[in-house]
Amino acid sequence: MKQVVIATKNKGKAKDFEALFGPLGYEVVTMFEVAPEMEIEETGTTFEENAILKAEALAKELGTIVIADDSGLAVDALNGEPGVYSARYAGDHDDEANMIKLLENLQGVEDDKRTARFCCCIAIAGPEFATTTVFGTCEGVIAHEKRGTNGFGYDPIFFVPSLNRMMAELSPEEKGAISHRGNAIRKLKEQLPNLIK
């Protein structure tokens, strides 16, 4: 089976990628398998900078083609926060604490002002070509409480109006069909048909 290496240590993200790459005949391999000791510091101030940083660091270490995803949630009422800092919004890399902090910061904000989008930059780096990036977004509304148990991160409080369900109520395949990550991967396939078939 063909393999695709993703520079991530987020199990939820890896599951999203499995749903996207599985149908294309790829086995997803993450840093847990190929570089468990490696820590990549995300020092960039944009999704693109961090995605490139992660993809290039692991590609250099392994000498193979690597994909990385830097993503996050931009909430309009909070001027785009938590944005690039989504993973550590409440200090630690803790999904529960991040959601609680976000709901607290949106207390009293009316439904029509709770619009938000997930953003994803995917970078692909390798020894024989210049690093390329693609973007994907997914529009939604921040709910008032959690619902659903699928997905990861902010999925339980992200309502998807087009499906009338929370992101965490979608199967990995349903999420991939509309998500920021799915939209980015579809662009990557268009741009690099020889690498991602």
* Catalytic sites, residue numbers: 70
Helices (H), the chain: 11-21, 31-34, 47-62, 95-105, 172-178, 180-191
8 Å CB contact between 28 and 39: no
Which is nearer to ligand ITT, 156 or 197 (by Cβ)?
156
Q: How many CB atoms lie within 10 A of CB 10?
A: 20
Closest separation in Å from C-beta 32 to ligand ITT? 10
Least spacing, CB of residue 16 vs Mg ion, in Å: 14
Residue 114 interacting partner from ligand ITT, Mg ion, none (CB closer than 5 to 8 Å by kind): none
d(CA 114, CA 120): 20
Q: Report if residue 183 touches ligand ITT, rule: CB under 6 A.
A: no
Q: Are 148 and 156 in contact (CB under 8 A)?
A: yes
- Say which DSSP state 73 is in: E
Q: Which of 17, 21, 154, 159 is in the footprint of ligand ITT by CB under 6 A? A: 154
The answer to whether 158 is a known ligand-binding residue is: no
**Smallest distance, Å, CB 23 to Mg ion?**
26
Feature table: binding site for Mg(2+): 41, 70
User: Can you say which residues are annotated as belonging to the binding site?
Assistant: 8-13, 41, 70-71, 152-155, 175, 180-181
